[in-house]
Amino acid sequence: MSYYEKYPTLQIEGYDDSAWQGWEAITARLRARTGQRTVLVIDCYPGVRLAELEENLLSALNPALVINAEQARLDESALHQLLARNLTDDRVFGVLSCHQLSEFIDPQKLVTLKEQVSNAPDGLIVIYGPGAALVHPGDVLVYADLPRWEIQQRMRSGELDNWGAENQSEDMLRRYKRAFFVEWRVFDRHKTPLLKRADFLLDTTLADSPAMVTGDALRAGLKQTTQQPFRVVPFFDPGVWGGQWMKQKFDLDPSAPNYAWCFDCVPEENSLLLRFGAVRIEIPSQDLVLLEPRALLGEKVHARFGAEFPIRFDFLDTIGGQNLSFQVHPLTEYIQQQFGMHYTQDESYYILEAEPGAMVYLGTKTGTEPQAMLDNLRSAGRGEQPFDDARFVNQIPAKKHDHFLIPAGTVHCSGAGTMVLEISATPYIFTFKLWDWGRLGMDGLPRPVHLDHGEKVIDWQRDTQWVHQHLVNQVEPIAEGEGWREERTGLHEREFIETRRHWFSAPVVHHTHGGVNVLNLVEGDRAIVDSPSGAFAPFTVRYAETFIIPADVGEYRISPSGETSGKPLATIKAWVRG
């Protein structure tokens, strides 16, 4: 039986009557807020189904005037010209946008829409769509939101274009790139001040099943979330190399071919579930980062990273699957200069489970000639021969609870037969594939290889001796007490994340020390997280679940559950070094 909770939900106290489910209830609540002349603004994240709003909400409100704010958007060719530098010709990588949403709007068309509002007769005036608040601030402001993972599902199904483009037939990698590098950046900037003053948030995640909560209740719920442990909603995705372990352990769809990834703590793309009375609201967990960065991250982390969650926990399942792509991540200066990111994708592999004979590919073998390896990779890429990995790359046996550190510039991949908890910095798409074992993607297309990028960032000094000395199982005892011991397991000094493993059969007291903590229960069925001072309700975590302790929590305690068998449990904890 699987105990892994796939839909963790936080119950928000004190706002039971502040949320509504279904179009009828939502319409009635908004109608109650209208007067003789009311401008209702429904601003939207790109991906919200505007047709559903029109059919179920706007028609029921019977407004005197309706304006779709997208009428003022630049046309597709003008947008493409504006964004050409950011979109690039590459399938995967673009340059991060620093645009404001107003740059995507035709100034004269915006003036025309504003004049329509000014000249409208008394009654209800509704302005809706992405950018609606640019037309009018709203006497009543609703923000319609949905998580990025749901946006991706709508893109994959062919339902959704990129914003301002008719490109459903375009390669999914290119559409995701446009969303990642441009749309989501621009609209996060736009929605942050709106969420701080919105009268209502409209959850449009599920088709024909909307939910709405007052802005005051939402903001109180986010504040409450920063005072206790919580989990974001994990999501799972198949891949060409994916395995079967998660399918069995997490009770996933048995008809799926495999599951390669689980994004268990990637707040940019995960959801956060908040329950207000009987109504469950699903929002992007990024909304918490945008509105409560200091309480969540801590002063020092916020000062360094801004409103970005810098730690990522995810799973890579190759048990019953195949090797990951052989890859390298960019050095800091390279990611800054080429893509506009201000920090890079340092990472590590913590081995949750491993089959006999499993291995991790890490660093080059001592004596490797860089040009010889690059020539061999290019030859492999042309299909002339397989890459001679045994000649050039260290293949290191992997077993349960091993920890492999992977600072940027280190060639690496997990081999078949491993269940990896990947602990890393958050820029999670910056993987330069060097070789993909001659495979096609699940879409039947060749998977993109970026050897031209990769060759510029490989650190050739990370050879056999260096890797074993610095990157493999760097376990250092730190402290111990009755029923527990603490070990440092990394990460490398070039990485900003610190990790500690605690083995325990008795309660262990932790402290955030003013910075966000991210943990996973890597051994044992379940544990209880509570507050020694009673500041929050006890929180149950189960095997392999990732959970977040906001900086503002301060002291917390992790104890074995009464249902455990008496064997030691273990957590792995990560935080940003000071």
Over range 211-234, report the average pLDDT: 98
pLDDT computed for residue 491 by the predictor: 87
Question: For residue 538, what are its two tokens?
Answer: 């006890």
Percentage of the chain lying above the pLDDT 70 cut: 99
Question: For residue 454, what are its two tokens?
Answer: 């990769």
Instruction: Report residue 309's pLDDT band, with 50, 70 and 90 as the boundaries.
Output: very high
pLDDT at 424 over 80: yes
Tell me the per-residue pLDDT of 55-81, one tens digit each, with 9 for 90 and over. 999 999 999 999 999 999 999 999 999
Over range 383-407, report the average pLDDT: 96
Alpha carbon distance 278, 208 (integer Å): 18
Find residue 514's DSSP bridge partners: none
pLDDT at 243 over 60: yes
Q: What does each C-alpha distance from 230 to 48, 119, 224, 233, 522 come to in angstroms?
A: 27, 48, 10, 10, 17
pLDDT computed for residue 564 by the predictor: 60
Over range 373-393, report the average pLDDT: 94
pLDDT computed for residue 2 by the predictor: 62
Q: Where are the alpha helices (DSSP H) in 480-530?
A: none
Q: What are phi and psi of 110, to 5 degrees?
A: -65, -40
How far, rounded to the nearest angstrom, does the alpha carbon of residue 543 sit from its chain's CA centroid?
A: 21
pLDDT at 1 over 60: no
Alpha carbon distance 380, 372 (integer Å): 12
Q: Are 203 and 150 in contact (CB under 8 A)?
A: no
The residue whose two tokens read 């404001």 is: 100
DSSP letter, residue 574: E
pLDDT at 442 over 90: no
pLDDT computed for residue 448 by the predictor: 81
DSSP 266-301: -TTT-EEEEEETTEEEEEETHHHHHH-HHHHH-HHH
Average pLDDT, the chain: 95
The residue whose two tokens read 């039986």 is: 1
Between 267-276, 432-441, 453-462, the lowest mean confidence (pLDDT) is in: 432-441
Alpha carbon distance 535, 563 (integer Å): 24
pLDDT at 415 over 70: yes
Alpha carbon distance 404, 545 (integer Å): 20
DSSP letter, residue 183: I
Domains and CATH numbers, the chain: 9-225 (3.40.50.300), 287-470 (2.60.120.10), 476-576 (2.60.120.10)
> Which run of H or of E encompasses 67?
strand 65-68
pLDDT computed for residue 464 by the predictor: 98
Report strand pairing: 123-129 vs 235-237. Answer: unpaired
pLDDT computed for residue 407 by the predictor: 96
- Per DSSP, which regions of 366-466 are E strands? 393-397, 403-406, 412-414, 418-425, 432-435
Alpha carbon distance 467, 507 (integer Å): 35
pLDDT computed for residue 430 by the predictor: 85
CB neighbours of residue 98 within 10 Å: 11
Tell me the per-residue pLDDT of 266-283, one tens digit each, with 9 for 90 and over. 999 999 999 999 999 999
Q: In the sheet that 279-284 helps form, which strands lie side by side, from edge to edge?
A: 9-11, 271-276, 279-284
How far, rounded to the nearest angstrom, does the alpha carbon of residue 446 sit from its chain's CA centroid?
A: 25
pLDDT at 445 over 90: no
pLDDT at 565 over 80: no
pLDDT computed for residue 441 by the predictor: 74
The residue whose two tokens read 């106290």 is: 13
pLDDT computed for residue 219 by the predictor: 98
Over range 183-209, report the average pLDDT: 97
> Which run of H or of E encompasses 555?
strand 555-560
pLDDT computed for residue 571 by the predictor: 98
Rounded to two decimals, the pTM is: 0.96
pLDDT at 563 over 70: no
pLDDT computed for residue 168 by the predictor: 87
Over range 515-521, report the average pLDDT: 98
pLDDT computed for residue 530 by the predictor: 98
Q: What are phi and psi of 305, to 5 degrees?
A: -115, -10
Evaluate the CA torsion angle 210, 214, 220, 222 in order and state its sign.
Answer: positive
Closest CA to 313 of 467, 488, 521, 471: 521
Tell me the per-residue pLDDT of 89-147, one tens digit each, with 9 for 90 and over. 999 999 999 999 999 999 999 999 999 999 999 999 999 999 999 999 999 999 999 99
Q: Are 92 and 429 in contact (CB under 8 A)?
A: yes
